[in-house]
Amino acid sequence: MSSAAGQPIPESPRDEYGTEQRAFTQTNLEHGKPPEPLLELEIPPSELDLTMTFESILSETAASDEPETKAVYKRASNVLKLSQENEKLKEELRLMTERLEAAERKQQELRQKALRSGAEEDVKKNVS
pLDDT in tens, 19-44: 655 554 555 555 666 666 666 667 77
pLDDT tens digits for range 71-109: 888 999 999 999 999 999 999 999 999 999 999 999 999
**Residue 21 identity (one-letter amino acid):** Q
pLDDT value of position 94: 97
The average pLDDT across 60-71 equals: 71
Residue 33's pLDDT is 64
> What confidence score (pLDDT) does residue 24 get?
47
Task: Tell me what pLDDT residue 98 has.
Answer: 97
pLDDT, position 117: 85
120 has pLDDT over 90: no
pTM: predicted TM-score of the whole model, two decimal places: 0.40
Is residue 111 very low, low, confident or very high in pLDDT (cuts 50, 70, 90)?
very high
More confident residue, 97 or 60: 97
C-alpha–C-alpha distance, residues 127 and 103, integer Å = 36
pLDDT of residue 66: 75
